[in-house]
Amino acid sequence: MTSLRSITLATLTKDIRLEWRSRDAINAMLFFSLLVVVIFSFSFDPTAQESREIAGGLIWVAFLFAAVVALNQTWARELRNHVLDAYRVSPAPPNALFLAKVFGNFILVSILEAVMAPLFVVFYNLRSLGPAWQLALVAILGTWALVVNGTFFAAISLRTRSREMMLPLLLFPISIPAVQSMVEATRIILSGDGSPRFWIVLLLTYDVVFTTACLGLFETILQAE
């Protein structure tokens, strides 16, 4: 257990340090989602009364697309100099590597959300009519849902041709219930009609089910020969 924790922490700090020094992924993500926000504002009139109804969808679609940018380069770093092969032959638990990557991506996407959410509020004149703290809960659960499966599928698409293209093709169909839950919960909280409880519970179920599945099957993916 200690080795799992220490290896997870070591890999995570290494990744964060590398990202901090280069800031490649975070800059690309921020700019990308800024572009998405602006393009959405031209496509859907943000001043309209209905904007509150569709804002939840716009926010999460923007984050989903931006997250793919980060997820795609998760494992690319480990391919150089055959780090992944070295990891494979080392006695370190595979799940430590996986968890470190998930936490790393989670931090990245959370930063992105923290920066972009105010922009959405400004551009779409949003004001939450429901309890706003629930939005934080939805954001945490939703981000985890995207990131845990995204990291896993990035590891799968690593083994294919044109891997950058492959990730969204694998991730999006599986993410449909998660995205729907996030969008619906956000819409309900923003418009203040009804309780988002069902969607939050569904999102939590999604997180639990797929985190378990990822942890159970990651070793198979890493060792696949």
Partner 1 sequence: MKKLFPILAALTALLLAYAFYQAMWVAPTERTMGDVQRIFYYHVPSAWTAFCLFFTNLIASIIYLIRKNPKADALAVASAEVGVVFCTIVLVTGPIWARPVWGIWWTWDVRLTTTLVLWLIYVSYLVLRRFSDSAQTPVLAAVLAIFGALDVPLVYFSIWFFRTQHPQPVMGNGGSLDPRMLHVLLINWLAFSCFGAIVCWWRYALEREMREVEELEALESLHGVSR
Per-residue three-class SS string for 109-170 = HHHHHHHHHHHHHHHHCCCCCCCCHHHHHHHHHHHHHHHHHHHHHHHHHCCCCCHHHHHHHH
89 binding partner 1? (CB under 8 A): no
In angstroms and rounded to an integer, the radius of gyration of the C-alpha atoms of the chain is 18
Choice from 149, 150, 187, 189 touching partner 1 (CB under 8 A): 149
162 binding partner 1? (CB under 8 A): yes
213 binding partner 1? (CB under 8 A): yes
How many Å from the N-terminal Cα to the C-terminal Cα in the chain?
A: 27
Output the CA angle 167-28-146, nearest 5 degrees.
40
159 binding partner 1? (CB under 8 A): yes
Residue 104: CB minimum distance to partner 1, A: 21
Residue 113: CB minimum distance to partner 1, A: 22
180 binding partner 1? (CB under 8 A): yes
Please give the C-alpha separations between residue 9 and each of 4, 149, 167, 174, in angstroms, as whole numbers.
9, 20, 26, 29
Is the CB of residue 15 less than 8 Å from the CB of residue 101? yes
217 binding partner 1? (CB under 8 A): yes
> Sign of torsion, CA 41 125 45 64?
positive
195 binding partner 1? (CB under 8 A): no
90 binding partner 1? (CB under 8 A): no
Q: Which is nearer to partner 1, 109 or 202 (CB)?
A: 202
205 binding partner 1? (CB under 8 A): yes
Number of residues that bind partner 1 (CB under 8 A): 31
174 binding partner 1? (CB under 8 A): yes
Residue 63: CB minimum distance to partner 1, A: 19
Q: How far apart are CA 83 and CA 72, in angstroms?
A: 17
Q: How far apart are CA 61 and CA 223, in angstroms?
A: 33
* Chain positions contacting partner 1, by CB under 8 A: 149, 156, 159-162, 166, 169-170, 172-174, 176-178, 180-181, 184, 198-199, 202, 205-206, 209-210, 213, 217, 220-221, 224-225
